A and B are shown apart, each in its own frame.
Chain A
Amino acid sequence: MDYIVKRTAFAIVTVFVAITLNFVLFRLLPGNAVSGLRCQHCTKQFRESIVKQYGLDKPKLQQYVIYVERLAHGDLGTSIADNRPVWDDIRTPLVNTLPMIVVGTVISIIIGIISGVVAAWRRGTAADSANLWTALAFYAMPTQWIALLVIFYIAIPLGLPASGIESNTLGILSTPSTWAVFSDRVSHLFLPALTLGVGLYGEYSLVVRSSMLETLGEDYVLTARAKGMRNWTIVWKHALRNAMLPLVTLIALSLGSIVAGAIVVEDVFSYPGIGLATIDAISKRDYPVLQGIFLILTMSVIVANYIADLVYFKLDPRVTE
């Protein structure tokens, strides 16, 4: 219990640090709501009224207090580009991205674990070195390039959709069934998720392989064999859970790069998720929206790390503090 309390407190502190950094970061960026192309031909009075409207004339500290206060009320601010609440602007992209990231991560974990375990079990064989090089290659490849490979070698031959989130033709002639909508979504989600997963699995595979090798050399594995257990049962019942421990940490640590990968992947696949929304907001200098997106992303990484801590606690009884 001590452990959980500590982790929770730690997560809350991190959230506050993230909020503060998020505030500072956007005040450090050059330009503001009235600079640049956006307001090239505005009158002086108009600029001043806009600055006032966003409260940019107030001292920074006061701005910070207002920002935190509004956050506490669930108010992420108003978009400069379309004057809608930020939350309304980023909710749909977020809902689109989440399943894609989850499926992508699950794909990477599954491929990573299976290939890592097989490589460890067949250590020194051709299968092992083949896996090593494949994993390293995918780990080193830029995600956008993997995306192109996926489009070229999978999307085209299989006729899978490689852009957007739903077919244009769906629902033109008749109201589609829930199942049709669902499978259409899944088929659009699959390739971006696969790209993300393939880009991530290499690292996981190598870590699983090495921690698996270490675990297989442990005395309790020999004991399990002496008990008469068969090889794969030993891997499944004794080695895997211990070998998973470093992977949990690694996944939690790589959540940031998962999000970064998602932005690139969404760009290539024109997938209307949080990545595209980010790129869009950057090009429009829509700082409130960007700030909102950053906040949501940081929060999700913190929450995921918190969950990883709890998973670790569950997996390893030795963790108590």
Chain B
Amino acid sequence: MNNVFVICEIDEGKVADVSLELLTKGRSLADRLNCKLEAVALGHDLKGMEKELFQYGADVVHVGDDKRLSPYTTLPHTAVITGLFSEEKPQIALLGATTFGRDLGPRVSSALQSGLTADCTSLEIGDHEDKKAGKTYKDLLYQIRPAFGGNIVATIINPDCRPQMATVREGVMKKEIFDKNHKGKLNILDVNKYLKPEDLVVKVVERHMEKSKVNIKNSSIIVSGGYGMGSKENFDMLYELADVIGAEVGASRAAVDAGFAEHDRQIGQTGVTVRPKLYIACGISGQIQHVAGMEDSSMIIAVNNDPNAPINKIADYVITGDVSEIIPKMIKYYKQNTK
């Protein structure tokens, strides 16, 4: 009772990375709160899956293994989770901020009349004093997230309702095996107890999953390179930076024409239009055709050896210098100073 729960996402028979990241975070929250960490995994053919969840720190793993729980649909998952939560009364419940977690989380929170904070970038434990009501709350979950298009950072709390629910994007928390030999309790759920016929009305008729497709359009950070990168080898450095800071790689037309990048990464009038939170333009002069596809980015950093490149006019930060010298410095600083 009153433990920390992670609702795991099962993706093609495997636990999604974001769920393992949340178990690592959940483990530290549970230790801080002096309670247990529990994981819930729903799907089909899940035999043996608990092992990995134990290794990532779960003390209890609840498994619902049933044909009706795969592929994922909202209603049966909601029914099992709300049923389980009504019995177990978690104090905290975490989900990945994926299409899965952002579909299931709000449905569960509404059914339980409990608060949910989306896309948290940090989770901490702390107290809260409600001066008006003269009440003090101990050990609440501080759910910290950017809001207002990233212009403010808010700390959200759920003083009175349980569970305190939050979603977190993939890559925000660090994934770390807690103990390879850690063993916990396996609880096989009787799914029939929770499912009603009306939970089974939505059907997935077709699924087309692709192996990681370039998705610059929906990426909140884009590292983009132009002809000024000089060579394919230099351009490939951008993938390393993107990988480290959780970004996608884009390219100008000149870079695509020069063979530095594939066509589906092209940003600009003849490519895709993007408006990420952060756009790092490397070796891009800033032809109007390119600018048209990225000028609505919330923040633009231009890295270029030409102090008068047109891109500098719309940039928030202009770094004048050698790209192949600057990018590794960014990577190095980020690696040393996060997580």
Bound pair: A and B?
Answer: no
Which A residues are closer than 8 A to B by beta carbons? none
Which B residues are closer than 8 A to A by beta carbons? none
